[in-house]
Every structure is written in C-alpha cells, then in structure tokens.
Chains A and B, each alone.
Chain A
Amino acid sequence: MSDEPIVQMAGITKDFTGVRALESVDFTLRPGEIHAIMGENGAGKSTLIKVLTGVHAPDAGRILLDGEPVRFHSPGQAQAAGISTVYQEVNLTDNLSVAENLFAGREPRLGPFINFRAMRRKASALLDQIGIDLNVAAPLSSYSIAMQQLVAIARAVDFEAKVLILDEPTSSLDRDEVEVLMRVMRKLAGDGVAMVFISHFLDQVYEVCDRMTVLRNGKLVGDWDTDALPENELIGHMLGREVETLEAIEHRPDRWPPGDAAPLVSAEGLGRRGSIAPFDLDVREGEVVGLAGLLGSGRTETARLIAGADRHDSGSLSLDGSKLRGHNPRTAAARGIGFCPENRKTEGLVPDLSVAENIVLAMQAARGWARTIPPARRDKLVAEFIAKLDIRPADPHLPVKNLSGGNQQKVLLARWMLLQPRLLILDEPTRGIDVGAKADIQRLVNELSDDGMAVMFISAELDEVTRLSDRIAVLRDREMIDILGAESEMTTERIVDTIVAKGGEQ
C-alpha cells in the first residue's frame, strides 16, 4: 500500500439552502485501500461522495487527485479522471446483455457495425479479470442483483478506475453474494484500486475495510485504521453521545409461557401458491412473534398474507376465533391489523405528501374522505407522535421524502400506532436506518407489546429477532419449518441450525 494518497479532500464545505451538509471535512484515500465512510443517516456521507464525484460543487475546500487540484462539474468528468461510482440501485439496462451493458457507449466496432464477437470476448476477459464467470450473451435481468452489481463494478473498473466508490452495494444481497462482492473488492485492492465503501452493516465494514472515516452532523469526527477502532467506540463516534447500546435492550425471558392464552390472530393452513406454503401460526395479545429466515425464504410473504396485502388461496385466518372473510388492507385495518411493509419508499410512504399527511393517512382512509379529522385534533395527534417517536426534523409540513430513512420509518410506524391496532406487523423496520433510530424502534416494539399489542417482527438481523421475540417462526425456501418458543431456543445459533438442518434433509 503506497503512502502517497490518490485522493485528498481538504476543508470541504457544502451548504444546501441554509442547511450546512458538510463543514470543513477532510478525507484522504490511498491506492489499494478499502476505506469506509461511516456515519448515521444525515451525517454527510452521500454529500461527501457527491462532492468527490462532481454531482455537487463544494462551496469551499479543495480536492487533489494524484496530487493535482481538480474540480469536477459532472460525474462524467469524474469518471473520465478515474473515479467511478456503483450505487445501491444498479443503473444498468436490464434487457440488454451483460456484454452490451459492459460496453454500452463504447462498443467495439467493425466499420459502422458493432463487433458483437469482439465485445463478448472482451466482456468475458473483463469479468475473468475480477474473478466472476457469467454468460455475457445472456440478458442482465437473468442474473441476481448481486451479479448485476458486480457487472456494474466490472464496467467501472474497465474505465481504468483508480478510485471506486461503492455506495451501499450490499443492502440487497444475501450472505453468499456479499462474500463474492468482498472477494472482488479484495482482488481489486490488490491491483491497486482505491475503494470507498459505504454500508450500514458494521460486520461487513470490519471484514473488508482497512480504514474508516467517521462523520457526524456534517463534520469530521476522525479517521482510524480498522484494527484500531473497536465496534463500540465506532458506534460511540457515530452517535456522538454516550451510547445506549443496543445490548441494553435485553431479551425478556419467558414473559409468555407458550399456550396459556387464546390466540388473537390464528392462521390455519394459510398459504398462497408460488409465494408461501400453507402454514399454521398463532399470535397472542402482547406477544412478539419474530419471523426469521434468509432473504426470499418467505418472511415477507407470510406477513403480507396475514396483513391482507396479498390474497391467500388456501387455509383460513381467524381473529378472536372467528374466521375472516374478504381480507384486504382496508378490512385488516378496520379489524385492528396494521402493516408496515418492507419497502417503505415504494409501498409505505407517499413521498410528495407531508409528514403530517403521511401520519394520518391510514386513519383518514378508515374514516373515508368526507369525514375529515378535525384540524385541531389532527395537529395534536401529529405533534404527539412526532414527539413520542422523536421524528426529526420535527416539522409536520415537510414532504416526507426529505426525511432520512430512519425518520421515514418512524413516520410509517406513527401512521399505524395512531390507529392503536391489536396486531402490528413490521417487515424489516430497521433495515437501512441508523443505529440510533434502530434502538428507538426496538425499544418501541418492547413498549407496545408491554401495553398488550401483538407484534409480528421481521428482520434480516437474527440477533435483533432473538432479542425482541417471544417466539420465532423460522422459514426456509418459502416454507415455515419450525416455531421456536422455549427460552433455550431463542439464540441465533439455534435459528441457523434449524435452517441448516432442514436444508440437509432435502
């Protein structure tokens, strides 16, 4: 690893109409290094990246690339200078082939025509170079998001990238795919490519990064070698307050000896073809039922059937012992079942509407359009929930799209809490949000269940599921394979064993 930095940013300041997004931030990147930029949502990570890649012009400060001062006015200029970015959402063309995607805009020519054979050959060579093997003639859409992301990286690398920025590349990948991505990252680092890695997954950061720079509220906290900064200190730097660590939220043992109360909601043979195999599941008042399993195991599908978001084609669902007919989101809400979907941007919030409007949406929907919630009552309720959930900024009139992920999630939670549901279904409420908001939401789940609300909780992070749940339904390959209830079973090891054991049977 050379000590001569490839990128030096010094005193970077950026204002957005009155809001200071970055204040005198320094950042140094060396060749062959994998460098994490850490911080809560709104700390200024993306703004710093966007300044580096020419999306935003800095209001003050300078950027040196290879020791030369540079000023990019567009991402294209940055790319030409060797700084490429791979975003969370792959921005390639689904229905073109892998090879066409790799060489779009700079296809090998044969006279006026594209030399497809040469393009495929070069594409294979390029993918080989980063150590992945794909059919380059197949459409990009035939590969998983992970592979598409690797194709995006390969394309960036082929632009002779000296600096590669990976913005949340792993948020939609499963464990194996993350491994492949990390292998590629290490290989590129070995070739001398400097990488900036942004991720909410601390374990991934510790696994792959050499150094990290921590930002908080648009200011630099500092930079450290990864070995020199233990995880709890990192979280301390990110939050900037004495961390009420997530560990403080303990699992509360045996609040619910199994089977001593009548179920609130009961699924019998509930299923939907091609989505989730028929399953039985009871949820009691005041109980937190976790759904655990890998991505695509049927967690979300289970939740959607119970929430009425999808129609079931087998079995039945009962509430208080009586079978439900015509189950859909509206009747579910009327019956006291609230559902915060997995994808809060596409299925949860209405981005253009204000925080207040998003909060009262379900309540207003239940009342119908003609019976407006009286403005005074509405303002009071909204203010109450903004304060209760600590939604920031605490401005009810702000469009919800301007809020950070964690605060958007809280708005969605507020929407359902307002209706005081009997069962609240939370699908990945803590995904992609900062540590502080995550702790808030976990605490809230505990409080709500203490007050007698039943909660169904889905998370990809198993320790979160074990910590919060009274019982855990384990899923694999769109099938509910076990329900763990005994205190001794509530460990991540046990869940993993259950999933693995079932896989071995098949």
Chain B
Amino acid sequence: MNSYLKRLFWPLAVLVALLIVNIAVTGFDFIVPSVHDGRLGGAFVNILRGAVPLLLISLGMTIVIATKGIDLSVGAVYAIGAAIACQWILDRDQSALDTVFTAVVLALVVAAVIGAWNGTMVAYFGVQPIVATLILMIAGRGIAQLITGGQIPSVSDDTPFVELGRGAIATVPVPIVIGLVVFFGLVLLTRTTALGMLLESVGGNPEASRLAGIRSKGITILAYLICGACAGLAGIIGSANLGSADANNGGLWIELDAILAVVIGGTALLGGRFFLLGTAIGVAIIGTLEDTIINVGLSSQWQFTAKAIVVFIVAILQSPEFRAWLLKPFRSGSAAEPTAPEPKPEEKAVAK
C-alpha cells in the first residue's frame, strides 16, 4: 500500500497544483459546486462531467496496457457507439424508454464485440497490439459513417437518451454517476477477484504465465473486451451530451489522451502493475488543464503546448533518475552524519 501511495503522490501533487492555480485566478467558485435547476454545477463539476468519456476510455486502456498491449481503436469505437445509439433512436420512437434502452445495449454489445475481436487478433493470431488495433482505428470511423449514412444524426431534445449526458440523479450529473459506477465496478472486478493479478501476470511475464497454467488468451481477450465496452459507453455519453453523433470527429484523438492519462497515473506501458485510481487522477489533470489555460488568460492556441509541458513535468517527476538528481543536495546532507563504521577487532583477527 505504501508503494501504491508513492506512485500516486506526484500525479496528485500536479492535480492539486493545477487546482490551486485556478483557485488563485478565479477564486473558490472554481472548486465549490453550486446548484442550478436542481443539479450541481460550477467550473470543476463541469470539468469532471466533461471528462467522463475520457475517464471511461482511459480505465479500459489501463487494463489493456496492463497486459502489455495497447488499444488505438478506442476513438473509432467511441464513434461507432455514438453512431449506433443515435441512429437507432432516430429511426424509431424517440421518446420511448425501451427504444433508448435497446439503443444503449446494442451500442455496448457491438463495442464489446469489437474489443473482443481486437483481443482475438492479439491473443490467437499473434498480431502486435498496436497493429491489430490500428486496423480498427482506421476502419472503425468508416464503419461509423456507414451506420450514419454519412450524415450526422441528431436526436430530439425530448428523448430520454440525452439525459445520459445532460441529466442529474439527486443533483449529481448522470455522466459523473456513470463514471463513478464504472470506476468502482472495475476496481471491484479487478481487485476483489483474481482478474487484476492475472492481468498483471500476463503483462508482466507472458511466458511464465503460460507455464503457470494461466489462460492468458482468455484474459487478454477479456481485457480488450472491457476496453471496447468502455469506449462504446464513452461514445454513448458523449453523443447523449451533444444530442448527435459525428462519425468523423467524435472521440477524435481521444486514444492519445487516454494513453497519456494512463501513463500520468503511473501504469507503465511495458505492462504489469496497473493503477486505476492513478488513471482517474491522470484524467482529472488532463481535464483541468484545458480550463486552466483559459483561466490564466492564455489563448486556446496554447492548449496543446501546455498539455505537453504538464505531461513532461509529470513524466519527469516519475522518473527515478530525475528524482534522485533532484533530491541529491538534500541526501548528501544526511549522508554527512556520522555513519562511519567502527572497527571490528575480532573480524580483523580472522582476516590475518
């Protein structure tokens, strides 16, 4: 547990620093939620609400990365999930609850199947994860366009579907509720069962895992399936918030932000140990960053550069070499304290 907290320290420190900067510039209104029309609002709550699609994708990505893999197709699966849900609703009775329910289930199932397909390519056909998922990263948006017929389907504002993005349960925005449910669901799934350990084993040493009798193919497919389902759910929430599904631009480049969030959260791209809470903090950092740039008065053109700088800082703070160098002046001070060993006469005697 101790090493776990150590892993989270730097990402948390960066997040707190970003929050302090925002509070300093815009006051405590930034972080204190307010209630408008029976739902929580305020700058920080809105940031969190907007970051939920990225959170879902990053959590799935974390699990795939734990197996030594990567999933580049999540942005495309986001678009497919959004397209299926919106198109299904648009073609039917928009206000009917069962339509919405079917649409959501259908989108989730398709996304999960796509994920399982990725996992099968990796586990059974031995395709490198980056190649296997690159295929659907490219083809996936094409599939989404085929579903929407090249249009951008916009659902009516009356359909219950949009509540998934805009509504609130007991004043808490629905996306945040979904994000929390998925987060805790995945933590429970991986840490109260042996799934987490087996994922880390498969990613940490595939050959040793095989020889220990682990069904690594099944575990790998399950990881990609979870990742695909998360991406589909992210697409549903994103499109529910907008009320439309853009096959070309929905979830564009979100896979890169997700990988960043995972890395910021302390999970190594080499596989093995993974940290879902770290990933969540990474997502909060990325989400907060965009508002910070506006709040401190920089133009939006700064967005990418500033993001790069923050990622650079987090990455370098996590490097043991850099930390050793940074802490050197302090350490040499403590080493100067008398640690000089006393002579051991009896051992000298043995030596002669």
Contact = CB atoms under 8 A, between A and B. Distances in A.
Interface stretch (B53-61, B120-128, B209-217): B209-217
B340 interface: yes
A348 B206 CA distance: 10
Given A23-B341, A369-B193, A329 B212 contact: yes
A13 B351 contact: no
Given A59-B335, A59-B339, A339-B211, A350 B200 contact: yes
B107 to A, nearest CB: 26
Contact of B194 (A59, A219, A334, A367): A367
B226 to A, nearest CB: 12
A334 B201 CA distance: 19
A31 interface: no
A128 to B, nearest CB: 41
Contact of B205 (A222, A333, A350, A370): A350
Interface in B18-45: none
A346 B205 contact: yes
Given A223-B351, A330-B215, A365-B214, A13 B273 contact: no
B198 A365 contact: yes
Interface residues of B, number: 33
Contacts of B211: 307, 309, 329, 339, 341, 347-348
A330 B205 contact: no
B192 A361 contact: no
A221 B344 CA distance: 11
B219 interface: yes
B208 A369 contact: no
B347 interface: yes
Interface in B333-352: 335, 339-344, 347, 350-352
B205 A351 contact: yes
A351 B351 contact: no
Nearest to A333: B213
B11 interface: no
A13 B192 contact: no
A220 B351 contact: yes
A62 B210 CA distance: 49
Contacts of A59: 335, 339
Contact of B198 (A221, A223, A309, A364): A364
Contacts of B198: 364-365, 369
B201 A353 contact: yes
A60 B212 contact: no
Contacts of A346: 205, 207-208
Contacts of A15: 339
Given A223-B351, A330-B215, A364 B208 contact: no
Contact of A361 (B214, B340, B341): B214
Contacts of B351: 26, 220-223
A348 B208 contact: yes
B204 interface: yes
Contacts of B210: 329
A256 B195 CA distance: 44
Nearest to B222: A369
B204 A361 contact: no
Contact of B212 (A24, A220, A361): A361
A350 B339 contact: no
A362 B201 CA distance: 11
Q: Categorize the interface residue count of chain A.
A: 35 or more
A349 interface: yes
Nearest to B1: A397
B81 interface: no
Contacts of B252: none
Interface in A104-146: none
A352 B208 contact: no
Contacts of A351: 204-205
A372 B201 contact: no
B194 A364 contact: yes
A11 interface: yes
Nearest to B349: A222
B347 A372 contact: no
Interface in A335-360: 339, 341, 346-353, 357
Given A351-B205, A352-B200, A366 B344 contact: no
B321 to A, nearest CB: 13
Contacts of A373: 194
Nearest to A378: B194
Interface in A292-329: 307, 309, 329
B272 interface: yes
A274 interface: no
A352 B198 CA distance: 12
B182 interface: no
A350 B68 CA distance: 13
A415 interface: yes
B194 A222 contact: no
A319 to B, nearest CB: 16
Nearest to B332: A57
A60 B341 contact: yes
B194 A350 contact: no
Contact of B208 (A349, A367, A371): A349
B215 A365 contact: yes
Contacts of B342: 24
Contact of A366 (B195, B213, B340, B352): B213
A465 interface: no
B197 interface: yes
Contacts of A415: 212
Contacts of B195: 369-370
A322 to B, nearest CB: 20
Interface in B93-141: none
Given A222-B347, A330-B215, A372-B193, A350 B341 contact: no
A220 B347 contact: yes
Contact of A365 (B213, B272, B340, B350): B213
Residue of A219, A307, A369, A415 ringed by the most chain B CB atoms within 10 A: A369
B219 A369 contact: yes
A332 interface: yes
A369 to B, nearest CB: 4
A230 interface: no
Given A24-B341, A59-B335, A372-B194, A362 B207 contact: no
Contacts of A330: 213-215
A339 B212 CA distance: 8
Interface in A354-401: 357, 361-362, 364-373
B271 to A, nearest CB: 9
Nearest to A223: B351
Contacts of B207: 346-347
B69 to A, nearest CB: 16
B317 to A, nearest CB: 19
B340 A13 contact: yes
Contacts of A347: 205, 207-208, 211
Interface string B261-272: 000000000001
A381 to B, nearest CB: 14
A353 B200 contact: yes
B132 to A, nearest CB: 22
Residue of B193, B200, B208, B347 ringed by the most chain A CB atoms within 10 A: B208
Q: Would you list the 10 A-B pairs with minimal beta carbon distance, nearest first?
A: A24-B341, A222-B351, A333-B213, A330-B213, A365-B214, A350-B204, A352-B272, A369-B195, A365-B213, A350-B205
Given A26-B351, A365-B198, 8 more contacts: A23-B341, A60-B339, A60-B341, A221-B351, A350-B200, A353-B204, A364-B198, A369-B195
20 contacts: A23-B341, A24-B341, A219-B344, A219-B347, A222-B347, A222-B352, A309-B211, A329-B210, A347-B208, A348-B211, A350-B205, A350-B208, A350-B209, A351-B205, A361-B201, A362-B212, A364-B198, A369-B219, A370-B195, A372-B192
